[in-house]
Amino acid sequence: MSDELEQKDGVTDPKNAEASTGTGSQASAGSGSGSGTQPGYVTEESYKGLQTAMNKQKTKLENELAALKQKLETSAAELEEAKIAVAEKTKLETAQNELNTSIQSLQAERDRLTRQLNQQQIVLAKFPELAPLASYIPTAESDEAFEANAQNFQAALQQYVRLTIKGTFEGANPPVSSGNGSGGSELIDKLWNETYKYAGIAGKEVEYEEAYAKLQEALKSQ
């Protein structure tokens, strides 16, 4: 009779099946809860592995930083050397320019003295009577131009002497009209003294040329 209550024709009673199923699920849940891990939990092995990786990364970064610092120091030293080199180059260029200027000045002075010596030789060879007065003859860039100046100076000197002697014998120096309206030997004497004042004086070449030109004009008008 009891068998008939629990099972009929091989079918299990639904109440007994639910009770059996419920008990099995609770057992399974209990078993799973005992063997799982808490959410967010890190094992000691995982922590040690993470710490090792972070230490390696830190060491790498420190090495790279040290290398960059060394490179920066090297660049700063090279820059300082470059600045010194530029300053030294500028100093040398300035000294070279000054030396070139001195050389050019010496060459110009040498050329002037050489030209003066050559022109003195012309005076001695072709105008010996003008040798004591050679410094009064206007200089020139070429020997041909200087020789022409010497000829003009010789003619002016001869004219001046002629007028002086004439005035001495006649006892007077009659005024003679000149191109600028001033007259006579007094003007010539004045222009001669003006020419003499600047003759052979460095830096007064322009004044001498002007005075000499006026003297020549005055002599030509006599």
Q: What confidence score (pLDDT) does residue 170 get?
A: 55
Average pLDDT on 180-202 reads 69
Q: How many CB atoms lie within 10 A of CB 143?
A: 13
pLDDT digits (tens, 9 = 90+) for 67-78: 999 988 888 888
99 and 152 part of one domain: no
Q: Does residue 145 belong to any structural domain of this protein? A: yes
139 and 117 part of one domain: no
In terms of residues, how long is the chain? 222
* 104, amino acid identity: Q
Q: What confidence score (pLDDT) does residue 214 get?
A: 83
Q: What confidence score (pLDDT) does residue 39 get?
A: 59
Helix (H, G, I), strand (E, B) or coil at 36: coil
Q: Which of 106, 126, 146 is the last residue before a domain boundary? A: 126
57 and 95 part of one domain: yes
What separation, in Å, do the N-terminal and C-terminal C-alpha atoms of the chain show? Answer: 185
Q: Which of 73, 92, 126 is the last residue before a domain boundary? A: 126
Q: Which two tokens stand for residue 165?
A: 């002697």
135 and 216 part of one domain: yes
Q: Does residue 196 belong to any structural domain of this protein? A: yes
96 and 176 part of one domain: no
pLDDT digits (tens, 9 = 90+) for 89-113: 888 889 989 989 999 998 888 888 8
- Candidate ranges 39-48, 65-74, 153-162, 212-221; pick with highest mean pLDDT: 65-74
Q: Which of 126, 152, 185 is the last residue before a domain boundary? A: 126
167 and 201 part of one domain: yes
Average pLDDT on 10-18 reads 45
pTM confidence score: 0.42
Q: Does residue 106 belong to any structural domain of this protein? A: yes
118 and 141 part of one domain: no
pLDDT surpasses 60 at 36: no
Mean of pLDDT over the chain: 74
The number of domains in the chain is 2
108 and 173 part of one domain: no
Q: What confidence score (pLDDT) does residue 33 get?
A: 43
* 43, amino acid identity: T
Q: Does residue 159 belong to any structural domain of this protein? A: yes
| Cα-Cα-Cα-Cα dihedral sign, residues 125, 127, 129, 134 | negative
Q: Identify the CA nearest to 130 among candidates 199, 47, 62.
A: 199
Q: What confidence score (pLDDT) does residue 213 get?
A: 81
Q: Does residue 204 belong to any structural domain of this protein? A: yes
120 and 54 part of one domain: yes
Q: Identify the CA nearest to 194 among candidates 178, 212, 218, 176.
A: 212
At residue 206's C-alpha, the angle toward residues 203 and 207, to 5°, is 95
Q: Does residue 20 belong to any structural domain of this protein? A: no
Instruction: Name the residue range of residue 195's domain.
Output: 130-220
Q: Is there a contact between 16 and 26 (Cβ–Cβ < 8 Å)?
A: no
Q: Please, which pLDDT band fits residue 193 given cuts at 50, 70 and 90?
A: confident
Q: What confidence score (pLDDT) does residue 32 get?
A: 42
137 and 209 part of one domain: yes
Q: Does residue 27 belong to any structural domain of this protein? A: no
**Token pair 């009064």 is at which residue?**
136
122 and 158 part of one domain: no
Q: Does residue 35 belong to any structural domain of this protein? A: no
